[in-house]
Chain A
Amino acid sequence: MNDQTPTRVERSAKLKGLGVSRKRVEDVRFTQGKGNYVDDIKMPGMLFGDFVRSPYAHARIKSINIDAAMALPGVIAVLTAKDLEPLGLHWMPTLAGDKQMVLADGKVLFQGQEVAFVVAENRYINADAIDLVEVEYEELPVLTDAKVAMAPDAPVLREDLAGQESGAHGKRKHHNHIFLWEIGDEAATDEVIANADVVAEETVYYHRTHPCPLETCGCVASMDKVNGKLTLFGTFQAPHVVRTVASLLSGIEEHNIRVVSPDIGGGFGNKVGVYPGYVCSIVASIVTGRPVKWVEDRMDNLMATAFARDYWMKGRISATKDGRITGLHCHVTADHGAFDACADPTKFPAGFMSICTGSYDIPVAYLGVDGVYTNKAPGGVSYRCSFRVTEAAYFIERMIEVLAIKLNMDAAELRRINFIRKEQFPYDSALGWEYDSGDYHTAWEKALKAVDYDGLRKEQAERVAAFKRGETRKLLGVGLSFFTEIVGAGPVKNCDILGMGMFDSCEIRIHPTGSAIARLGTISQGQGHATTFAQILASEIGISADSITIEEGDTDTAPYGLGTYGSRSTPVAGAAAAMAGRKIRAKAQMIAAYLLEVHDGDLEWDIDRFVVKGAPEQFKTMTEIAYASYHQEIPGVEPGLEAVSYYDPPNMTYPFGAYICVMEIDVDTGVHEIRHFYALDDCGTRINPMIIEGQVHGGATEAYAIAMGQELAYDEIGNVKTGTLMDFFLPTSWETPTYTTDFTETPSPHHPIGAKGVGESPNVGGVPAFSNAVHDAFRPFGLKQSHMPHDQWRIWTIANDLGLHG
């Protein structure tokens, strides 16, 4: 007893707590093919459901004939809107306060829209039956350009909203208008801009794309008619929210619904929404009394669930002649597709787009966002970013570049003189956010030095001269990006989804022998929660991370939480874990005091034990305390050692970073080569550096894809042109660049362990870095703005338009 042999260093190392590059516990299963994803679930008698989808982007449905399909052996049911209508389920509410057809009710509004749900014994019979469902369509005029949606003679898309002059977010100005969301002082901004020394104006388009996780969306619904219980396995980034929505929609009491998110094969925002497939599977299971599986194929996934971006951002930025920014005006035309199904906190119909003042001290600003309907798929999710934060970061980082051109100034210097200074934090932005902490200048100088910025500019100037002399056909671009994110939604006072506050939760049980299980309201989709949450707890409660099981995703066992997206797991659930750990420690202190026969104030915490102050040989380890809590009567203290914490964050967190991309561009072919990509992230306290680095590599690769070729493209009659992986760009190992990662560490002052979240920074910061590199290469030849994605053809076109092809 009381063996003091292990040194403090050894005891601390044994915990594998904060700051350790702990190997992932998940990987043992995953590397052996023993993951359990939704399509791996097999239940006795399980049926297979799939959709008849619309080939048209806008059409009236004249008739649906299911007779031939129903006659096919093995077909159990074909559901249409007519079947769902008596249940009130032919339409469903969206997360954004709109409603969406579950199955086409009278007309279709986008290509790939769900028209009928076929349920059959297996996927082959199902595919045959889908071909046998006869749907007669009458084509209607198609609207795919958000910029003309508000024209007086634009086709009327949402006939169901006829006569409704206001929606969930205020007044509608036009039959295709959803909302106008305004923040800031427009009159004051206009005045500053009107009287400024220098004004730069630009329209920046952030094109429509798709999160496209490798696993598509899907579910298995199983209605147990004997017990009246519904079990729903599915690819849900927010399982508890799905349970509540399922209860509200179906009328089944919430305690009779169990939602389980098994292993999820990547989410990136795609798996936040509630989709017709879930609703139809539930109904089909209730109707048939058998489990029903629905899993999208890749084309369904790209066409119908969860697009991202599609923002036309018109900006004006003003400055003094020496480059001090004085004002920013931004107007967005937001293409929301056929239904407003954006996944944003309720009070933020354009998400946190109002972080568009970026990392800069801008005294006055205005943002207005007009949401409009088009004949494209609904969605509007945050693809590897907090709500609309990539759009905001891309906008401001392009506007800075455009302003630098106007000022004839170096863009790195322009950033430097406008950064919010370290001593200004906490900083109140012109658009209403309180930035918690930051040290932008230190990060920027470190980044510029790391890439030898001055040397690069010199090389670039020499290259331009050589190009003009006809000695090379390659240009050099230096893409700069400095970003501030706003993540960790969010404080219940202003953040909710369908009325549910965006807190999160953690429940811990310490077992008698000193190991533990913790359950959280979040769900990992590859972020490694089972590894990192255990590290947070290890540091808080002094039990080795290897002895702590982390469980998420089963609503019957996990405490209620709002799920994983928008980099909220570490800022919110991570904080809940730390707070629950502290409750455990508080009780443990009382137990230790009793065991050591001292006042609890005479004890101090030391890594994994309570020690009597001034008498280090007298202590009780957490293992001893856990044992005592179950085995010994301790006066005034309940048996057991458990705690639960529901954490309502006082503020968002504001991770930031500096990314620099060095790119070679062949003017004649449009082919690019990434010579160097440097990513500096400041995510506050670092929990697991190995995982942070992995997140940066992955997020930067998604940024690379978006900036350089990935696009959800439509033709003028609403056909999806990039509906398979042949056309929708996912980079392979061959073209993906190699990244250099770096960091500074500025803890969040309000988070219990100072962590800010990192999973999405590389996408937020990466997109402007890649795009600015393309622009920068052509800046000496007069390029101001060219829309993404910068694929070879578009880069070639830039060169051609600038007359560089001779």
Chain B
Amino acid sequence: MSKMHLKLTVNGQAEELRVEPRELLIHVLREKLNITGPHIGCETSHCGACTVEMNGKSVKSCTVFAAQADGAEVTTIEGLSPLGEMNVLQNAFREHHGLQCGFCTPGMITRAHRLLQENPTPTAEEVRFGMAGNLCRCTGYQNIVKAILAAASEMNAAKEAAE
């Protein structure tokens, strides 16, 4: 199959590669760029384990063609904090036991990161609604919700202090 030329920015780094038009973004990230944080859980956009940000929106990269990401800014879990450092949200997930097997976690945190940009002061119900595209089989979500709310308060407190 003929290949196309793809240029995109992933976690701030410019990438250039040749892909088949049918290749999915998740496969390009994981198998060509060795970015294995986003996972494959269903390949039908139900589970959200593959969630990444594309041009400031949460997308499920298992149902995005790599071709659609041409020229895009893509951010994955690896791009949310400098290597070896945990940001507020990552810390909150650990602090509140918002993960167990860790398979959904990169997608979950990437989505939560965007959710808190969309709505910096969500209620528990808004968190539950805003995170409903990301499935977790281990935690029952209770501690995920707690972690996201805690991260929101911490971020808001830091913002207020800065102002």
A, B bound: yes
Interface residues of A (CB under 8 A from B): 23-24, 26-35, 37, 39-40, 42, 122-124, 212-216, 263-266, 268, 295, 297-298, 525-528, 690-691, 693-694, 697-702, 724-726, 730, 732-734, 736, 738-739
Q: Which residues of B are found within 8 Å of A699, using beta-carbon distances?
A: 140
B27 near A123: Cβ-Cβ < 8 Å: yes
A214 near B132: Cβ-Cβ < 8 Å: no
In the assembled complex, the CB of B163 is this many whole angstroms from the nearest CB of chain A, namely 28
A298 near B42: Cβ-Cβ < 8 Å: yes
- Encode B101-114 as 1/0 by CB contact (under 8 A) with A: 11111100100000
Interface size on B, residues (CB 8 A): 61
Pick the contact of B137: A24, A37, A702, A733 (CB < 8 A): A702
Q: Which residues of B are found within 8 Å of A698, using beta-carbon distances?
A: 100, 137-140
In the assembled complex, the CB of A584 is this many whole angstroms from the nearest CB of chain B, namely 30
CA–CA, A14 and B20, complex, Å:
55
A-B interface contact total, Cβ < 8 Å: 177
A732 near B142: Cβ-Cβ < 8 Å: no
Task: Determine whether B9 belongs to the interface, using a CB cutoff of 8 Å to chain A.
Answer: no
Q: Which residues of A are found within 8 Å of B97, using beta-carbon distances?
A: 23-24, 690-691, 693-694
Q: Which residues of A are found within 8 Å of B78, using beta-carbon distances?
A: 32-33
Q: Which residues of A are found within 8 Å of B99, using beta-carbon distances?
A: 27, 30-31
| Known contacts A297-B43, A298-B42, A724-B46: A214-B136 contact under CB 8 Å | yes
A33 near B76: Cβ-Cβ < 8 Å: yes
- Encode B45-59 as 1/0 by CB contact (under 8 A) with A: 011010000000000
B94 near A264: Cβ-Cβ < 8 Å: no
B81 near A214: Cβ-Cβ < 8 Å: no
| Known contacts A31-B109, A32-B81, A739-B140: A214-B94 contact under CB 8 Å | no
A724 near B144: Cβ-Cβ < 8 Å: no
A726 near B142: Cβ-Cβ < 8 Å: no
Task: Please name the residue on chain B nearest to A216 by beta carbon.
Answer: B41
B103 near A37: Cβ-Cβ < 8 Å: yes
Pick the contact of A32: B49, B86, B145 (CB < 8 A): B86
In the assembled complex, the CB of B148 is this many whole angstroms from the nearest CB of chain A, namely 10
B101 near A265: Cβ-Cβ < 8 Å: yes
A263 near B102: Cβ-Cβ < 8 Å: yes
A32 near B142: Cβ-Cβ < 8 Å: no
Q: Which residues of B are found within 8 Å of A701, using beta-carbon distances?
A: 139-141
Pick the contact of A733: B35, B44, B131 (CB < 8 A): B131
| Known contacts A33-B77, A124-B22, A724-B46: A40-B36 contact under CB 8 Å | yes
A265 near B127: Cβ-Cβ < 8 Å: no
B81 near A298: Cβ-Cβ < 8 Å: no
In the assembled complex, the CB of B30 is this many whole angstroms from the nearest CB of chain A, namely 8
In the assembled complex, the CB of B139 is this many whole angstroms from the nearest CB of chain A, namely 5
Q: Which residues of A are found within 8 Å of B144, using beta-carbon distances?
A: 733
Q: Which residues of B are found within 8 Å of A295, using beta-carbon distances?
A: 40
Q: Which residues of A are found within 8 Å of B49, using beta-carbon distances?
A: 214
Q: Which residues of B are found within 8 Å of A30, using beta-carbon distances?
A: 99, 102, 105-106
| Known contacts A690-B97, A733-B144: A214-B37 contact under CB 8 Å | no
A694 near B36: Cβ-Cβ < 8 Å: no
Pick the contact of B143: A29, A697, A725, A734 (CB < 8 A): A697
Q: Which residues of B are found within 8 Å of A702, using beta-carbon distances?
A: 137
| Known contacts A31-B105, A214-B101, A528-B100: A724-B44 contact under CB 8 Å | yes
Q: Which residues of B are found within 8 Å of A215, using beta-carbon distances?
A: 39, 41, 101, 103
Question: For chain B residues 18-43, which have a beta carbon within 8 Å of chain A?
Answer: 20, 22-23, 27, 30-31, 34-43
